[in-house]
Amino acid sequence: MSERGLQISGLTASVDGNEILKGIDLVVPPGSVQALMGPNGSGKSTLAFSIAGHPSYNVTGGSVKVDGEEMLGVAPDKRAKAGLFLSFQYPAAIPGVSVANFIRTARQAVKPDDLTPSKFRAMIFEKLDVLDMDAAFLSRYVNDGFSGGEKKRLEMLQLAMLAPKYAILDETDSGLDVDALKAVGASVNALRASDAGKDIGFLIITHYPRILQYIQADAVHIMMDGRVVKSGGPELANVIEREGYDKIREEVAASVG
């Protein structure tokens, strides 16, 4: 039996000929929350897009496996079918397409013909209840006129309906006020507490530790200059909150010296 987990090994990648990822090793076990932190420009979003298979990111080496299945060289839609989910830092608006139709189409693309229309309707209302979201969301156009918090909560609904194995949340706290941040945290926690979501592995990518006040991480990893330079427990986020990234830089410099 293959080893379970989102397993990233020796991953290197470049953008426009510039090397960004310089050998990333990271494992996201099922049901865990792994936080990846780092200053701007450290390569966090490049890692997210490289895992998902964005064509603008040239992976030059290493491995990305989902429960033992290699994802590199696999088309992005097939990565989604294998169980990967990526939330975007800046979700796009799609005027004219309702949330209900968008999620129905996405569900059919990832899990073809597994739900009749009546079962889909029952499921989406169940997820709305789990996430404490208003059913009026379903008739609105995707992200059209949505607040930052509404966009992120809609992504949580998509996540709940697609039921991936591993979810990468890229800067999901970007631009959110405190109330919106609490709402997103509550959505993730509610999903993790449900039977359908308890085995989802989360990789939460963030610059600031704010979101980790509302979502308990099992481990925190610090990324700098295209490498994971330090890993620890959730208390590592508190160190960043108090002292910034300079302390980590000093530790890395001392270890190299």
Show pLDDT as tens, one digit a residue, over the chain (257 residues).
458 999 999 999 999 999 999 999 999 999 999 999 999 899 999 999 999 999 999 999 999 999 999 999 999 999 999 999 999 878 899 999 999 999 999 999 998 877 899 999 999 999 999 888 999 999 999 999 999 889 988 999 999 999 999 999 998 877 788 888 888 899 899 989 988 889 999 999 998 888 899 999 999 999 999 999 999 999 999 889 888 898 888 888 887 76
DSSP tag of 136: G
Q: How far apart are CA 74 and CA 167, in angstroms?
A: 18
Instruction: Estimate to the nearest angstrom the gap between the alpha carbon of 60 and the chain centroid.
Output: 22
Give the predicted TM-score (pTM) of the model.
0.92
β-pairing verdict for 219-224 and 69-70? unpaired
Secondary structure element (H or E) that encloses residue 8, with its range: strand 6-15
Task: Give the DSSP per-residue string, 148-213.
Answer: HHHHHHHHHHHHHHH--SEEEEESTTTT--HHHHHHHHHHHHHHHHSTTTTT-EEEEEESSSGGGG
- Provide the token pair at 254: 């001392």
Say whether 142 sits in a helix, a strand or coil. strand
**Which pair of structure tokens corresponds to residue 181?**
């941040």
Q: Which fold has domain 6-85+163-256?
A: Rossmann fold (3.40.50)
Q: Which helix (H) or strand (E) holds 14?
A: strand 6-15
Please choose, from the candidates 183, 224, 187, the residue with its C-alpha nearest in 3D space to the C-alpha of residue 207: 224
Position 1 scores a pLDDT of 42
pLDDT at position 180: 83
Q: What is the pLDDT of residue 257?
A: 60
